[in-house]
């Protein structure tokens, strides 16, 4: 039986929402193994002088929980 855990993250990028999501996954993968997928919940942007300065995505990242019980 597989157990999946979900964590909520915010990714940011000066380039695009796609890059913001990729950045969140890249950073999460440094400490989380067995990433299964993401669900982008919300997309926002920071505006300065009528220009988008930062794209942000709120996402839910799912990963498989490892079974570390002794055999």
Tens of pLDDT along the chain (71 residues) come to 789 999 999 999 999 999 999 999 999 999 999 999 999 999 999 999 999 999 999 999 999 998 776 66
pTM recorded for the entire structure: 0.86
How many CA atoms lie within 13 Å of 29's alpha carbon, on the beta-carbon side? Answer: 11
Q: Please give the domain boundaries of the chain with CATH numbers for all domains.
A: 4-64 (3.30.1660.10)
Whose CA is closest to 60, among 26, 22, 9? 9
Q: What is the pLDDT of residue 2?
A: 83
Contact 43, 56 (CB under 8 A): yes
Q: What is the pLDDT of residue 70?
A: 61
């Amino acid at each position: 039986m597989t157990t999946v855990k979900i964590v909520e993250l915010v990714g940011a990028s000066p380039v695009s929402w796609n890059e913001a999501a990729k950045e969140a996954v890249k950073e999460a993968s440094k400490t989380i193994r067995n990433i299964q997928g993401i669900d982008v919940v919300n997309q926002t942007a920071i505006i300065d002088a009528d220009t988008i300065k930062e794209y942000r995505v709120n996402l839910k990242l799912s990963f498989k929980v490892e079974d570390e019980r002794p055999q």
